[in-house]
Chains A and B, each alone.
Chain A
Amino acid sequence: MGVMDGILEGAKVAFSFHGILFVLMGVFLGTIIGMLPGLGPITAIGVMIPISYGMDANMALVMMAGIYYGAIFGGSTSSILLNAPGVAGTVATAFDGYPMAQQGKAGKALAIAAVSSFIGGTVGVILLMLFAPLLATVAISFGPPEYFALMLLALTAIASLSEGSTIKALISGTLGFMVAMIGIDGQTGTSRFTFGSASLLSGIDFLVIALGIFALAEVFKLIITRNDIDSGPNKNIGSIRITKSELKEMSGPASRQSVLGFLIGVLPGAGATIASFIAYITEKKIAKKPEEFGKGSIKGLTAPETANNAATSGAFVPLLSLGIPGSGTTAVLLGALMVMGIQPGPMLFTEKPDLFWGVIISMYIGNIFLLVLNLPLIPYISKLLNIPRPMLISLVTIFCLIGVYGISFNTFDLYLLLAFGIIGYLLRLVSFPAAPFILAFILGEMIEQSVRKSMTISNGSFMIFLERPITLAFLIITVLSLALPPLLGMRKKIKSIE
């Protein structure tokens, strides 16, 4: 059967009445799950596995995939309105989305996020459709040394995430690294910095930190500055219309980051979170006015929102073409496929073209549904900001608590959440940026583990990082990105002296 026949088979699945119904259900559930901090797509799909048993496999997968990308789509809402990231992939969305909302442009921010998500998702699906079988080779081209080099490149962003003082950003990043080291070390099985607590053995969950440092810290700020009339969330929602000039501003980051985000999503282990950070950083680096980033920049909001949705499509490449799960959520999807009697693997493409193409085509429909569902809802959802402040504060706090408890059903995590809320507030008080902390935390474990895996493979020789072309290329870019700006600055100075 040729590829065209396969695509036709898939279209039959996706455009059938049931196909459309299930994708609608999936993206609707996904949006809601994404909006609620803590409740993520992994849990939702995991709980659904036994229920989907006996269902038509195509429909079940269409729906579960919808939950996955719907959650990333919906996750931006709470990031923007409450500074509480709904899912890990939307932390970077809060960097510029929340300031925009505070400036009374919540409606616009949500609209931009929805449109960017739509562009990222759709471009991602197009790339997935055109290149999935081809990209399988890209997905397996990354070993531990390559991951190390890529993560190192991403880490250089700490400097660009600083709001003024580079030293403060570096200290904040180091703290993030230290927290990332807590738990059982993957390469030796030794527990580190757990102080004998079983709850710390598997480390600290990303969402505990993100909700603590962003959402709860914001709550503390609101409580402490409650008598200031000017501070706190702006109740103004503003227009949801995106003007022509704003669209123009979005077009650059949206087109670049949909491709870059997709490619990062293809790499197993990288995923939407890292894609969104890398997108944010690259856009800030090449922006004409990087100083606007972090203060409600349209580019700064478009970039991560496009990238995380594109990465979600990218994550389906290794899953569908190789049977390799690239992220926690796709691993659960893989389990779901198995229970329906389908063996995910390299043969899926030829043996189950209806499933393979059906899911991909349904993702176009899903993205359109998401846009249509989300845009008209914006004025209603952003009314959340009109809730009186005492109630809003309690609401956000409760969301954070439920979200964190939902990760592991462990009350210990609630204390951790509180601790990170306080740390987050203190960091702000002394104007240390929180973004480098969270970035170093995300990358920390992967960097450390990939170095050590590489060293085990090479019997302790550092040459392994220089012998491999991809690794070497990343390392050269890393060095350039660190060395070029100061060098250029020096040249300018010398010229001005002359």
Chain B
Amino acid sequence: MKRSLLFLGLSFALILAACNESSGDASSADGDWMPTKNIEIVAPSGAGGGWDTTARMAAKVLEEEGLIDQGIGVVNKTGGGGAVGWAYIATKKESPYNLFVTSTPMIDVPLNGQSDYDYTDFTPIANVIADYGAFAVKADSKWQTLNDLFDDMKKDPTSVTVIGSSSPGSMDHLKFAKFAKEAGVDITKIKYVSEQDGGELTALLNGSVDVFSTDVSEVVEQVRAGNIRVLAVTSEERLEGETISEFPTGVEQGINTTYINWRGFFGPKDLPEDALEFYEQKFKEMTETDAWKEIRANYGWGDFFMGHEEYQEFLKEQVESSKALLDELGIVR
């Protein structure tokens, strides 16, 4: 009973915290910056999605582990695959109280011409987690390995339909194209269907499409149930975990490439140096807590911490690599 009351109270507190807007007002004392009021983390998507859960979980750990003394409110700014949220943060220049969570679309969406802002319009603070992609086929499919599939696609790329949840030119499409290109398939002819109503797995299971390009976490249970087979995961080395470790990588099948879906926290452009250091350190500490590790394990998120400097280099490489692929696909606008 007590617990449920606490629960109700907490939910109201959270809603209140979310309503509590804060704007720029940096109280910097040489390198020793501390937040003096509530911090807002924007999830540029609706409640319940990947960005939203990451933001809410991070806020929870940062607060409950006593890493940050101020309240942290998660605010959803939905729309445009992130573009609406980014446009909002862009108005918060220099403010150390407006952070946001982002991932691979931060690269793809601007390249696709759907956002005026790209990662250089913000300050990358720290990356915290990584997901890897997986390519799955139905359990009774004729393709046993990734090379079986690509051999057929080299003969006739249009004989295979690939499905994913992101729009063409975004993650699920790009990672498949990246591997197919490495194998020598004509990627401009790949048939990619974008399914945004949650019917990807259904379409694969009823044979409407042939290949499902998705995240590793989406396929594990279906493999255990014997419904589908994973031809490859996009990591460098095999992933750890029960069923997961049985999935072969592309690299070990001779397709020498990888694809990583990173996820981390950014601040607005010109985030003061001392605030940047503060948050970088706090996010690092957060990823080392047991609470965070347990959350990661439950969601199947991989550990992938990068500090500010390293993160920026990494993002630069990501843009180069995605741009080259999109150019070849004829999508860069």
Contact = CB atoms under 8 A, between A and B. Distances in A.
Contacts of A25: 4, 8
Given A144-B203, A184-B80, A187-B193, A324 B48 contact: no
A51 B14 contact: yes
A340 B221 CA distance: 16
B221 A343 contact: yes
Contact of A199 (B56, B84, B205): B84
Give the most central of A189, A269, A339, A457: most B CB within 10 Å.
A189
Contacts of B224: 345-347
Nearest to A147: B199
A53 B57 CA distance: 9
Contact of A46 (B48, B195, B197): B48
Contacts of B48: 42, 45-46, 49, 328, 331-332, 335-336
A46 B84 contact: no
A184 B59 contact: no
B203 A143 contact: yes
A201 B80 contact: yes
A53 B225 CA distance: 27
Interface in A109-164: 139-145, 147
B193 A21 contact: no
Interface stretch (A374-382, A402-410, A425-433): A402-410
Interface in A52-93: 52-53, 55
A145 B227 CA distance: 22
Contact of A188 (B14, B168, B207, B297): B168
Given A46-B48, A326-B198, A202 B208 contact: no
Contact of A323 (B8, B47, B221): B221
A409 B112 contact: no
A202 to B, nearest CB: 4
Interface string B199-225: 101110111110000000100111011
A22 to B, nearest CB: 7
B258 interface: no
Interface in A293-326: 318, 322-326
A457 B59 CA distance: 43
Give the most central of B201, B207, B220: most A CB within 10 Å.
B201
Given A47-B47, A199-B84, A456-B161, A408 B201 contact: no
B198 A201 contact: no
Interface in A436-482: 446, 449, 453, 456-457, 459
A463 to B, nearest CB: 14
Contact of B56 (A50, A322, A410): A50
B80 A198 contact: yes
Given A25-B4, A51-B7, A186 B194 contact: yes
A345 B227 CA distance: 11
B29 interface: no
B79 A53 contact: no
Contacts of A408: 46, 76-79, 84
Contacts of B193: 144, 187, 453, 456-457
B59 A331 contact: no
A318 to B, nearest CB: 8
Contacts of B14: 47, 50-51
Contacts of A199: 79-80, 84
A46 B170 CA distance: 25
B331 interface: yes
Given A409-B75, A410-B78, 11 more contacts: A47-B18, A50-B60, A188-B167, A189-B194, A201-B80, A201-B83, A269-B198, A269-B199, A332-B47, A338-B299, A457-B161
13 contacts: A43-B47, A48-B11, A50-B59, A140-B206, A143-B199, A191-B114, A323-B221, A324-B198, A324-B201, A340-B298, A346-B225, A453-B193, A453-B194
- 10 closest Cβ contacts across the A-B interface? A345-B221, A46-B47, A143-B208, A201-B80, A332-B48, A346-B225, A46-B48, A269-B197, A408-B78, A189-B167
